[in-house]
């Protein structure tokens, strides 16, 4: 089978969820109750709004991740072709990794790898 048939798996997956949701929304008995629709917070009504600006503390991680993820894309072709490219490419990739490592070390020393 070809890669186009991926669409099949997409459809089958969606079908599985869709049919079950449909069944579940039609067959089981339903009862409405305003308290049922409350968000669960250990039995206490929620105070304040939920979606407010949130200090997640991993923006820096996201940025470092972005850097590394892009770099991984560069590594993939080399990894596949490494045997044919030989020693020269290896030395080049060592230099590339060295630069990456310096970057990581810098971020580490700067304290970017800390969840605040």
Residues in region 35-94 near another protein by CB under 8 A: 36-44, 46-48, 50-58, 61-62, 64-65, 68-69, 72, 75-76, 79-83, 86-87, 90, 93-94
User: Minimum distance from CB of 97 to another protein (Å)?
Assistant: 6
Question: If you compute the radius of gyration of the chain from its CA atoms, what whole number of angstroms results?
Answer: 25
95 contributes a contact to another protein by CB under 8 A: no
Query: For residues 96-115, which are near another protein according to CB under 8 A?
Result: 97, 100-101, 104, 108, 113-115
Query: How many residues at the interface with another protein, by CB under 8 A?
Result: 76
Query: For residues 12-31, which are near another protein according to CB under 8 A?
Result: 12-18, 20-21, 23-25, 27-31
Kindly report the three-state secondary structure assignment for every residue of 102-116: HHHHHHHHHCCCCCC
> How far, in Å, CA of 98 to CA of 90, rounded?
12
């Amino acid at each position: 089978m070809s890669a186009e048939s991926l669409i099949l798996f997409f459809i089958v997956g969606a079908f599985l969820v869709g049919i079950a949701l449909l069944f579940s929304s039609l067959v089981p008995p339903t009862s409405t109750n305003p308290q049922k629709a409350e968000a669960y917070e250990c039995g206490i009504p929620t105070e304040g709004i939920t979606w407010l600006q949130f200090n997640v503390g991993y923006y820096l991680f996201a940025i470092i991740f972005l850097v590394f993820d892009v770099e991984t894309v560069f590594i993939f072709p080399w990894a596949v072709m490494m045997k044919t490219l030989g020693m020269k490419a290896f030395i080049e990739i060592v230099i590339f990794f060295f630069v990456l490592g310096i970057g990581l070390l810098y971020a580490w020393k700067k304290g970017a790898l800390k969840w605040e």
